[in-house]
Amino acid sequence: MSRPGFVLEVDERTPPLLVHAGESFHLEQFPLGTRVVYPPDSLPGIRDVDAAIAEALLNPLGSKPLPELLHAGMKLTIAFDDLSIPLPPMRAPDIRGRIIEAVLELAAAKGVDDVELIAANALHRRMTPAEIKHIVGDRVFASFFPEHLRNHDAEDRANLAHLGKTRHDEDVEINRRAAESDLIVYVNVNLAAMSGGSKSVAVGLASYKSLRHHHNVHTLRHSRSFNDPPNSAMHHSYDRMRAVLDEHVKVFTVETTLNNDTFPNQLGFLNKREWEWSLKDQAAYVAAKRANDLAPAKVRRKIWHNTRAPYGITGVNAGDPGLVHEKTLANIHRQQLTEVNGQSDIAVLGIPYICPYNVNSIMNPILVMCFGLGYLFNMYRNKPIVREGGALIMYHPMPQEFHPVHHPSYIDFFDEVLSETTDPATIEAKYEKQFAEDEWYRHLYRNSYAYHGVHPFYMWYWGAHALEHLGDIICVGADRKTATRLGFRTASSLADALEMASDTVGRSPSLTYLHTPPMRLADVR
């Protein structure tokens, strides 16, 4: 029986606690009384994953068994989540590959010839062949790549289909092949409560024209939080779009959930609670920290990004997207939900080396903002972990470093847009269109491995709710110039940060530290 998540209160016995800060980590002695939110211990994974997959496909929720949906001569499209989930990437074999194999096994038995596999990467960068291969597995890759196993292209006008508008006048436009299929099987990995469900097809296979209806400042400011679908304006929009989609195309979705085994054995201490560290864990910590600090930056990055998580699968559910997603959310809550009593004046976050948009890449300052103020801040139900007007303290070195191939528009966004304003609404009104329609970005998105020109805007919007909610944002150990550009302040230590925050929250603020990774969702009462 794994232990549930809980809130630690730092007392005289509490040893220094682990904090992630980019491609590094360190121990921080938090002030007495600091609340620390720990996620539940990792749940045991399913022993026989293949059997669970077969069971899910043959006895789906709210749908006929998959074999009965397949017939010779049909058009079958299998769409799957791209490399933005899970984080870090999963140790091979990836669960998506195993499911796709099972689906193809059934399709082959039924004599289905016309099968296309599409990575649902929306406006994310295309995946390299190696990255696709890691997700779908060697066998699928060898059989389908490159003609029938492709990245979705949200700028390929000829291959997009406009399916209509929702009652809120939102365009629904997705990949033409998917839209014209007799069946879409969507294979998903659900790491956070925001993904999956209606989002899968409506976002993953959509175009900019369609995405802009929910990826905007207004929607994100009214998604509280976007990890709590019933209270997320964003998810309401997804649901409306799914209703339109349902009129045109049948979707059979397969969703999976993972446990919290985020780091491999040699970094096992990262998965453990600090006061339970053995001598061995401590030695591993010192050795790993030392090696990490001494390693040249390039080597360090390579090692971090080559980390593969030994995730266990906590659930495989298939069938009708709505019903499946309910089960998925329950599984996620089982693994991530931690009850927290009341808000605090200050939230403390350690921003790790990876976020959904820099797998095998560089976590640039905009992604740091997005992960801290977007993702981690929004990992709540009911109320944010920090009170309105409170302060947020983030740990990240924030070097002014961008991946020139993956994030070209980010560089210009940082230099040109953020130097003018950091207000999401102003940015949206003044610059979004220019970037979204920039031919070069479009070209790089379609032909190179670049995120779409508009993507940095979405990153900034993710943080819109937090920017509105927070009174002060202080980055510990961050590059001063970068942080200033983002509109944040910098401190060299936690003590300094608290000192600075005292202007906003007074001399004896309440502190909550969110101990991540692994992921957790705070249920703030």
Partner 1 sequence: MITVIEYRRSPTRFLAARGASARTTGKLGDAVAGSLAPLRLINRPDPRRPGKEWGRVRPMLSGICGSDLALLTGRSSPYLSPVVSMPFVPGHEVVGELLDDVGDLRAGQRVVMDPVLSCATRDVDQCPHCAAGHESRCDHVTGGTVAAGLQTGFCSDTGGGWGGMLVAHASQLYAVPDDVPNERAVLVEPLSCAVHTVRRAAVPDGASVVIVGAGTVGLLTLLALREFANPGPVYVIAKHGHQRERAKALGATDVLEPKRAARVLRRATGGSLQTPERGAEYLLGGVDVAIECTGGGGLDSALRLVRAGGTVVLSGMPSAVDLTPLWYRELTLIGAYASEHAGSHDSGDFADALSLAAHAPLDGYVDATYPLSGWREAIGHALAAGRLGSVKVAFDPTRD
Partner 2 sequence: MSLIREIKLVSRRRDWRGRSRTPRSAEQWAPVREPREFPTAWARTKPARVVREGVQRGVLRPLVWTQTSPQVYGSDRLDGVHGPVIVIANHASHLDAPLILNALPARLSRRTAVGAAADYFFDARWRASLTALVFNAFPIERSGSRRMKMIAPKLIEDGWSILLFPEGTRSQDGWMRSFRRGAAQLACQHDIPVIPVAIRGAYGAMPRGRNWPRPGRPRIAVHIGRPLAPAPDEPVPAFNARLNAAVTQLWAEEDMGWWGAMRASEQKELPDTTGPKAASWRRIWETTRPLPDKNAKNPVWRR
Binding residues for partner 2 (CB under 8 A): 3-4, 6-16, 26-27, 29, 273-279, 282, 285-286, 289-290, 293
**What sign for the dihedral angle of Cα 283, 287, 290, 293?**
negative
Instruction: Select the residue interacting with partner 1 from 40, 356, 390, 408 (CB under 8 A).
Output: 408
Site string for partner 1, 432-461 (x = CB under 8 A): ------xxx--xx-----------------
Rounded to a whole number of angstroms, the minimum distance from the CB of residue 440 to partner 1 is 4
Q: How far is the C-alpha of 496 from the C-alpha of 503, rounded, in Å?
A: 12
Q: Which is nearer to partner 2, 31 or 506 (CB)?
A: 31
Question: What minimum distance in Å lies between the beta carbon of 282 and partner 2?
Answer: 5
Give the rounded distance of the alpha carbon of 284 from its chain centre.
28
Place of tokens 């990153």: 459
Q: Which of 293, 416, 499, 503 binds partner 1 (CB under 8 A)?
A: 416
- 48 versus 439: smaller Cβ distance to partner 1: 439
Rounded to a whole number of angstroms, the minimum distance from the CB of residue 512 to partner 2 is 13
Closest CA to 57 of 119, 101, 93: 101
180 binds, among partner 2, partner 1, none (CB under 5 to 8 A by kind): none
Is 479 a residue that touches partner 1 (CB under 8 A)?
no
CB closer to partner 2, 42 vs 237: 42
Residue 274, binding choice from partner 2, partner 1, none, Cβ under 5 to 8 Å by partner class: partner 2
CB of 434 to partner 1, least distance (A): 8
By C-beta, is 244 or 522 nearer to partner 2? 522
- Dihedral angle, C-alpha 28, 311, 278, 354, nearest 10 °: -20
DSSP per-residue codes, 381-415: ESS-SEEEEEEEEEE----S---TTT-HHHHHIII
Closest separation in Å from C-beta 20 to partner 2: 16
Nearest CB to partner 2, comparing residues 341 and 421? 341
Q: Which residues have a Cβ under 8 Å from the Cβ of 227 and sit 6 or more positions away?
A: 192, 193, 194, 378, 379, 380, 381, 521
Q: Is 411 in the site for partner 1 (CB under 8 A)?
A: yes
What amino acid occupies position 362?
Answer: I
Residue 421 is a binding residue for partner 1 (CB under 8 A) = no
CA 147: distance to chain centroid? 28
Shortest distance in whole angstroms from residue 415 CB to partner 1: 5
Q: How far is the CB of 419 from partner 1 (least distance, A)?
A: 10
Nearest to 267 by CA among 248, 291, 249: 291
Picked from partner 2, partner 1, none, the partner binding residue 276 (CB below 5 to 8 A depending on kind) is partner 2
- CB of residue 370 vs partner 1: minimum separation in angstroms? 21
CA-to-CA separations, 63 to 195, 220, 318, 385, in angstroms, rounded: 21, 33, 9, 39
405, 450 in Cβ contact below 8 A?
Answer: yes
Q: How far is CA 299 from CA 118, 191, 268, 291, in A?
A: 33, 28, 21, 11
Which residue in 173, 412, 432, 472 binds partner 1 (CB under 8 A)?
412
Cis ω for the linkage preceding 517 (within 30 of 0): yes
246: tokens are 């349902």
Q: Which is nearer to partner 2, 113 or 293 (CB)?
A: 293
Q: Which is nearer to partner 2, 14 or 307 (CB)?
A: 14
CB of 452 to partner 1, least distance (A): 15
Q: Which ranges constitute the DSSP H helices of 249-386?
A: 279-294, 297-305, 321-336, 365-369
372-381: b (≥16 Cβ within 10 Å) or e? bbbbbbbbbb
Q: Which does 415 bind (CB under 5 to 8 A by kind): partner 2, partner 1, none?
A: partner 1
Residues at the contact surface with partner 1, assessed by CB under 8 A: 404, 408, 411-412, 415-416, 438-440, 443-444
